[in-house]
Amino acid sequence: MPHTRLNPNAIPTTSLQDALSYINARVTSQDYTRFFSLLDDIELIPDAVLRYNAQHDGDNGDNGDNGDNGDNGNGGPNNPYRIFEPGDISETLRTKVTSGLFSGGLGSLTTFFTQSNAGARTGSYLDIYDKDINSDSTAEVQFSVGYANVNGSGSVGNTTKTIAGNRETAALYKQFANILLPPGTDKFTFTGAGSTSDDFYFVVFNRARMREKVDPGNWEIKLHCSGSGPDNVINFQSNLGSGSFDVRLIDDSGATTNVDVNQGGRVFNVVSGSIASGTSEIAITAENQPGGAYGLFYPDLGIILLNRDILDNSASLGETTRGPNNTLVHTPTSSDAFDFNSQLLYNSIKSGSYFAARREEEISSTSYFARVKNQDFNFSNNPTFTSASAGTEGGTPSSTGKFTQATFEKDPKVYVTQVGLYNDSNELLAIAKLSQPVLKTFAREAVIKVKLDF
């Protein structure tokens, strides 16, 4: 039997038995037992009918009792579902939010670790952790560093092209080229360098850390380098004596009004400078840097490419050796041997003991206003709201369906603790929990704002 909304005015008032017989013929046996079977006074019938109707308002019942049209499931007073009306939804608001890029929302790292077993097959790039991966299970990858060479130099298989899958530096160069360079361009060019580059070092942020993008103008890395440093040590390069010095690198987004956008999205130059003061301070622009910019920065992809030539000349990453024509060579580029070049950059970062970075993401917010009118949601299905079985009160039988609190008679009270958002199929999509319960009665209305950030 479908749930029928009872019309109190149609119920016989001649006797309790007539009223119960009338009701019993129109409701399910379960509802009759729950709400009416133990009533012992005809004066209790109106309240019991009120509780019964409130329980089933909004059900897909029939068209009501004796001409009472019911609600046909379309939002009766106790129907748990409500359709948002025009004006109840505030369209998306977009806000840019920045936070520390590293694990735990940290804005900087001063200690760096990598796996100790990285060798010739995996060593052209190294994953860098915030803790010692060899002894701490909570260590997480923060970024990766490595070396790429268009000809495969610095890795095994440069000339022989072994079937073992070597020439890793060449594969890395082509991967970056495919992602960052426009069609028809095979090599990278660093601003001010004057020619294309056959190789570079790279820093790639872990995707889980950067989320949407790296915040331009909000990162700085310190490289600790060997040697005496360049002839003209500029600001933000600290000559430490004993054959070592530091170089601080940032991007030039703060000094750029026309942002270059290419295959890899926005791109800025890497220059010598610092953000320690809260704003970017550039020591020398990319165009004026001898040998060209220190590198290129792609914030939307979380990639920093570092110019190997200038790092060799001004940062002395590797051991100084003599190459062809007796020229100085710092980064070794063996023709068929693994040179551990990625380790050179890792060692420089580890000794520099400082890498600051922030991420930027655009938060989209939509607000839903759940309006609870005075006639809505004034009863509860909680078994503590009404008595669920017969008992005794002062030695006399109590009635099933009575309020457990006598003060609820004709003035029930409930508390709203959460709001659920559903799709058109009544499938739950999200739950908003209130910070504290909200009192709801026939004399109180409420508007609950649910804000979704995504």
Residue 256 and residue 282: Cα distance in Å, rounded? 12
Residues of the chain with pLDDT under 50: 1, 59-75, 77-78, 230-241, 319-328, 389-399
Dist CA 314 CA 249 (whole Å): 12
Yes or no: say if 89 and 370 are a contact pair by the CB < 8 Å rule.
no
Nearest Cα to 254, choosing from 274, 237, 236?
274
Q: Which domain holds residue 216?
A: 111-353
Indicate the residue type of 339. Answer: D
Q: Tell me if 400 is assigned to some domain.
A: no
Which two three-digit tokens encode residue 189? 């060019």
Report CA-CA distances (Å) from 253 to 288, 362, 447: 16, 19, 45
User: Which DSSP string corresponds to 58-112?
Assistant: TSS--S-STT----TTS--TT-S--PPPTTSEEEEEEEEEEEE-BGGGBSEES--
Q: Would residue 300 count as lying in a domain?
A: yes
How many angstroms separate the CA atoms of 140 and 129, rounded? 5
User: What residue type is assigned to position 265 of the chain?
Assistant: G
The predicted structure's pLDDT at residue 148: 94
Domains contained in the chain, number: 1
Residue 264 inside a domain? The answer is yes
Inside any domain, residue 165: yes
Residue 105 falls inside a structural domain: no
- Cβ atoms of 61 and 78 within 8 Å: the answer is no
DSSP assignment of 296-350, as one string? EEETTTTEEEEEHHHHHHHT--S--EE-GGG-EE-S---SSS---HHHHHHHHHH
H/E stretch holding 179? helix 168-180
In-domain check, residue 78: no
CA-based nearest residue to 228, from 214, 238, 219, 216? 238
- Taking the C-alpha atoms of residue 451 and residue 367, their distance in angstroms, rounded to an integer, is 4
State the pLDDT at residue 159.
57
Which residue, 147, 148, 131, is CA-closest to 139? 131
Instruction: Convert the pLDDT of each residue in 141-163 to its tens digit.
Output: 999 999 999 988 888 765 555 55
Return all residues near 399 (Cβ < 8 A) that are at least 6 apart: 38, 39, 40, 44, 48, 387, 390
Query: Around 394, how many Cα atoms within 13 Å sit in the side-chain half-sphere?
Result: 0
> Which pLDDT does position 401 carry in this prediction?
58
Assess contact for 329 and 322: CB atoms under 8 A: yes
- Of 18, 17, 22, 27, nearest to 401 by C-alpha is 27
What DSSP character marks residue 235?
A: T
User: Tens digit of pLDDT for each residue in 171-227?
Assistant: 999 999 999 998 889 999 999 888 899 999 999 999 888 888 999 999 999 988 766
Euclidean distance between CA atoms 373 and 76, whole angstroms? 11
Q: What is the largest CA-CA distance in the chain?
A: 120
Tell me the residue type at 174.
K
Rounded to whole angstroms, how far apart are CA atoms 449 and 89? 10
Q: 16-24 and 45-56 are packed helices; what angle lies between their axes, rounded to 10 degrees?
A: 20
Please check whether residue 181 lies inside any domain of the structure.
Answer: yes
Whether residue 160 lies inside any domain: the answer is yes
